[in-house]
Protein backbone atom coordinates (compact mmCIF):
# COMPACT_ATOMS: atom_id res chain seq x y z
CA UNK A 1 0.00 0.00 0.00
CA UNK A 2 2.85 2.35 0.87
CA UNK A 3 4.58 1.65 -2.44
CA UNK A 4 1.29 2.20 -4.30
CA UNK A 5 0.68 5.57 -2.62
CA UNK A 6 4.24 6.74 -3.20
CA UNK A 7 4.09 5.83 -6.90
CA UNK A 8 0.71 7.39 -7.73
CA UNK A 9 -0.37 8.56 -10.27
CA UNK A 10 1.80 5.83 -11.75
CA UNK A 11 1.29 2.14 -11.15
CA UNK A 12 3.85 0.59 -8.86
CA UNK A 13 4.94 -3.03 -9.14
CA UNK A 14 6.98 -5.57 -7.30
CA UNK A 15 7.59 -9.25 -6.80
CA UNK A 16 6.25 -11.54 -4.10
CA UNK A 17 8.69 -13.94 -2.52
CA UNK A 18 7.60 -16.98 -0.58
CA UNK A 19 6.67 -20.63 -0.69
CA UNK A 20 3.51 -22.58 -1.44
CA UNK A 21 1.69 -21.33 1.62
CA UNK A 22 2.86 -17.81 2.31
CA UNK A 23 4.19 -14.53 0.99
CA UNK A 24 7.34 -14.03 3.05
CA UNK A 25 8.76 -10.89 1.52
CA UNK A 26 8.33 -8.50 -1.35
CA UNK A 27 10.71 -6.65 -3.60
CA UNK A 28 9.90 -3.27 -5.04
CA UNK A 29 10.64 -3.24 -8.76
CA UNK A 30 10.76 -0.32 -11.13
CA UNK A 31 7.76 -0.10 -13.45
CA UNK A 32 9.31 0.09 -16.91
CA UNK A 33 6.02 0.15 -18.84
CA UNK A 34 5.75 2.69 -21.64
CA UNK A 35 2.48 3.95 -20.13
CA UNK A 36 3.02 3.54 -16.38
CA UNK A 37 -0.20 5.39 -15.52
CA UNK A 38 -2.28 2.51 -16.82
CA UNK A 39 -0.04 -0.53 -16.92
CA UNK A 40 3.02 -2.08 -15.39
CA UNK A 41 5.97 -4.05 -16.60
CA UNK A 42 8.61 -5.66 -14.42
CA UNK A 43 12.21 -5.03 -15.40
CA UNK A 44 13.53 -8.47 -16.51
CA UNK A 45 16.90 -7.91 -14.82
CA UNK A 46 15.13 -7.22 -11.54
CA UNK A 47 13.03 -10.32 -12.05
CA UNK A 48 16.05 -12.58 -12.52
CA UNK A 49 17.78 -10.94 -9.61
CA UNK A 50 14.71 -11.67 -7.45
CA UNK A 51 14.69 -15.32 -8.56
CA UNK A 52 18.33 -15.74 -7.53
CA UNK A 53 17.84 -13.86 -4.28
CA UNK A 54 14.75 -15.91 -3.38
CA UNK A 55 16.53 -19.18 -4.17
CA UNK A 56 19.42 -18.24 -1.90
CA UNK A 57 16.84 -17.96 0.90
CA UNK A 58 15.15 -21.26 0.01
CA UNK A 59 12.17 -19.39 -1.40
CA UNK A 60 10.65 -18.66 -4.80
CA UNK A 61 9.15 -15.75 -6.70
CA UNK A 62 5.51 -16.78 -6.27
CA UNK A 63 3.80 -13.73 -7.69
CA UNK A 64 3.78 -10.06 -8.46
CA UNK A 65 1.93 -7.05 -7.13
CA UNK A 66 0.97 -3.80 -8.76
CA UNK A 67 -1.30 -0.87 -8.08
CA UNK A 68 -4.32 0.69 -9.72
CA UNK A 69 -3.90 4.38 -8.81
CA UNK A 70 -7.40 5.37 -9.94
CA UNK A 71 -9.42 2.19 -9.83
CA UNK A 72 -10.32 -0.88 -7.82
CA UNK A 73 -8.16 -3.89 -6.99
CA UNK A 74 -9.62 -6.03 -9.76
CA UNK A 75 -7.69 -7.17 -12.85
CA UNK A 76 -7.95 -4.93 -15.90
CA UNK A 77 -8.22 -6.26 -19.47
CA UNK A 78 -4.48 -5.51 -19.79
CA UNK A 79 -3.78 -7.55 -16.66
CA UNK A 80 -5.77 -10.42 -18.14
CA UNK A 81 -3.84 -10.20 -21.40
CA UNK A 82 -0.48 -10.56 -19.66
CA UNK A 83 -1.42 -13.03 -16.93
CA UNK A 84 -0.32 -16.64 -16.74
CA UNK A 85 -1.28 -19.51 -14.48
CA UNK A 86 0.60 -20.73 -11.43
CA UNK A 87 1.40 -17.19 -10.29
CA UNK A 88 -0.20 -14.98 -7.65
CA UNK A 89 -1.26 -11.50 -8.78
CA UNK A 90 -1.85 -9.02 -5.97
CA UNK A 91 -3.46 -5.71 -6.84
CA UNK A 92 -3.69 -2.60 -4.66
CA UNK A 93 -6.71 -0.47 -5.56
CA UNK A 94 -6.28 3.13 -4.52
CA UNK A 95 -9.80 4.13 -5.60
CA UNK A 96 -11.05 2.72 -2.31
CA UNK A 97 -10.45 4.51 0.98
CA UNK A 98 -8.78 2.77 2.66
CA UNK A 99 -7.16 1.07 -0.34
CA UNK A 100 -7.99 -2.57 -0.96
CA UNK A 101 -5.46 -5.32 -1.55
CA UNK A 102 -6.79 -8.38 -3.38
CA UNK A 103 -5.12 -11.55 -4.61
CA UNK A 104 -5.89 -13.15 -7.96
CA UNK A 105 -4.89 -16.29 -9.77
CA UNK A 106 -5.50 -17.27 -13.35
CA UNK A 107 -7.41 -20.56 -13.43
CA UNK A 108 -8.61 -22.02 -16.72
CA UNK A 109 -8.31 -18.63 -18.39
CA UNK A 110 -10.22 -16.65 -15.78
CA UNK A 111 -9.13 -14.69 -12.74
CA UNK A 112 -10.21 -16.23 -9.45
CA UNK A 113 -9.91 -14.40 -6.14
CA UNK A 114 -7.26 -15.73 -3.77
CA UNK A 115 -8.00 -14.97 -0.11
CA UNK A 116 -5.10 -13.16 1.55
CA UNK A 117 -4.73 -13.60 5.30
CA UNK A 118 -2.35 -11.49 7.34
CA UNK A 119 -0.45 -13.71 9.77
CA UNK A 120 2.23 -11.44 11.16
Which residues are near Zn ion by CB under 5 A?
76, 79
Comparison of 54 and 64: residue with beta carbon closer to Zn ion: 64
The CA-atom distances, in angstroms, between 2 and each of 12, 28, 66 are 10, 11, 12
CB of 22 to Zn ion, least distance (A): 23
Q: Which of 18, 36 has the CB closer to Zn ion?
A: 36
Indicate the helix (H) or strand (E) that contains 108: none
Q: How far apart are CA 102 and CA 73, in angstroms?
A: 6
4 vs 54 by CB, closer to Zn ion: 4
Q: Which residue has the CB atom at the shortest distance from Zn ion?
A: 79
Could you give the CA distance from residue 28 to residue 97 in angstroms, rounded to a whole number?
23
Smallest gap from Cβ 16 to Zn ion, in A, equals 15
Amino acid sequence: MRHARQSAPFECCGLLIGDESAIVDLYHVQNIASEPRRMYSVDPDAYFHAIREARSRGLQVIGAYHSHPGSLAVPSPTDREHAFSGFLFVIVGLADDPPTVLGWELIAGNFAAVPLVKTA
